[in-house]
């Protein structure tokens, strides 16, 4: 499938909001992000909407207790594992949903079915999830031969189910993997090889038929994520603007194959928000793009194949400040599009 990533700096968001009322959260999102709203994750409503808990539903032996997630080898573990592999081989995601109790925002977006030009979804990536969930000995399941192999297959089914769900809300869909644990890549505590990381991410991405992206909220080895099959790279531009420009050859190859960048230019802290405006953020965005322009990538191309987002999720803010972020984001997008889009 040929993906059109000419977003022309449309605004969207990473996923989370501080709201606890799903209907209100959905209306806030669609008010400010009219062209590409993301369904809102609401971790303040319930631990089940925590990024890792949200996609645990249906994994063999999964056990949530005291805000921790683990896998237990109960009597049903082996049949559940066999069921997972059967579904994976058949590419049958229907039995691996994210139900309403785990994602009220996703299900409440149904009220806008047929009224949106596009919609963005998101789920946790295999590295972050596999490093967050433990086995009976407290070890991350990603390092277990059996469980670690099951993780990307499971999340691939969850991604496919979500994309099909979103396609009933809007014709055009975008699905992101959130991989905050990629910031630990290369450290002593992160022992997975580059090849293994790429393979695990790609196994999940292959479950997404339409546009797909990867978000990492801080610094990482971007050459790894640029080597995956993603269509969009999403990063915290506000705090780590220079990090992506350290990989000019990989970025050029990525953009030449039609890749896009989601520029996380609007901050998600009160202190930073209080000193920013549309004009200051536009200047900051242009500064973030300038190293790529100096290396031969046309500025117009960066704008055309760009999205604008907050630097990361917004669940840590008050509802008022989270809505201020979305307002700034929408106004900045309008400003950039008016100034640069042909």
Q: Is residue 335 part of a domain?
A: yes
Q: Is residue 1 part of a domain?
A: no
Average of per-residue pLDDT across 232-247: 95
- Range in 3-12, 118-127, 301-310, 318-327 with the lowest mean pLDDT: 3-12
Q: Is residue 2 part of a domain?
A: no
pLDDT at 1: 42
Q: Is residue 198 part of a domain?
A: yes
Q: Is residue 183 part of a domain?
A: yes
Which of the four pLDDT bands, split at 50, 70 and 90, describes residue 342?
Answer: low
- Give residue-wise pLDDT tens across range 163-220: 999 999 999 999 999 999 999 888 888 889 999 999 999 999 999 999 999 999 888 9
Measuring CA to CA, which residue among 277, 278, 286, 327 is closest to residue 306?
286
Q: How far is the C-alpha of 190 from the C-alpha of 258, rounded, in Å? A: 31
Report how many domains make up the chain: 1
- Host domain of residue 85: 10-340
Whole-model pTM? 0.95
Q: Is residue 4 part of a domain?
A: no
Q: What is the CATH number of the domain that holds 24?
A: 3.20.20.210
Q: Is residue 5 part of a domain?
A: no
Q: Is residue 250 part of a domain?
A: yes
- Give residue-wise pLDDT tens across range 22-57: 999 999 999 999 999 999 999 999 999 999 999 999
């Amino acid at each position: 499938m040929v993906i059109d990533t000419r977003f022309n700096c449309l605004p969207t968001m990473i996923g989370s909001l501080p709201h606890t009322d799903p209907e209100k959260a959905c209306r806030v999102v669609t008010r400010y992000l009219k062209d590409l709203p993301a369904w809102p994750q609401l971790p303040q409503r319930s631990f089940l909407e925590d990024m890792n808990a949200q996609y645990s539903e249906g994994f063999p032996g999964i056990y949530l207790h005291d805000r921790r997630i683990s896998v237990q080898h109960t009597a049903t573990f082996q049949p559940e594992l066999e069921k997972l592999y059967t579904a994976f081989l058949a590419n049958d995601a229907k039995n691996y949903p994210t139900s309403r109790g785990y994602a009220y925002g996703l299900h409440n977006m149904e009220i806008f079915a047929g009224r949106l030009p596009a919609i963005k979804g998101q789920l946790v990536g295999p590295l972050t999830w596999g490093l967050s969930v433990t086995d009976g000995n407290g070890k991350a399941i990603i390092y277990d031969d059996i469980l670690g192999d099951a993780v990307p297959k499971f999340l691939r089914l969850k991604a496919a189910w979500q994309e099909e769900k979103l396609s009933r809300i809007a014709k055009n869909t975008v699905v992101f993997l959130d991989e905050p644990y990629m910031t630990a890549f290369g450290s002593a505590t992160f022992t997975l090889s580059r090849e293994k990381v790429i393979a695990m991410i790609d196994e999940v991405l292959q479950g997404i038929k339409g546009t797909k992206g990867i978000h990492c909220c801080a610094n990482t080895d971007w050459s790894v994520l640029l080597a995956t099959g993603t269509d969009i790279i999403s990063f915290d531009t506000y705090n780590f603007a220079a990090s992506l420009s350290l990989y000019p050859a990989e970025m050029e190859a990525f953009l030449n194959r039609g890749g896009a960048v989601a520029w996380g230019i609007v901050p998600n802290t009160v202190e930073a928000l209080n000193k920013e405006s549309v004009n200051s953020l536009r200047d900051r965005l242009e500064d973030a793009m300038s190293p790529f322009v100096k290396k031969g990538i046309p500025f117009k191309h960066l704008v055309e194949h760009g999205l604008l987002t907050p630097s990361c999720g917004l669940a840590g803010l008050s509802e008022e400040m989270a809505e201020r972020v979305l307002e700034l984001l929408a106004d900045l997008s309008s400003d950039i599009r008016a100034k640069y889009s042909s």
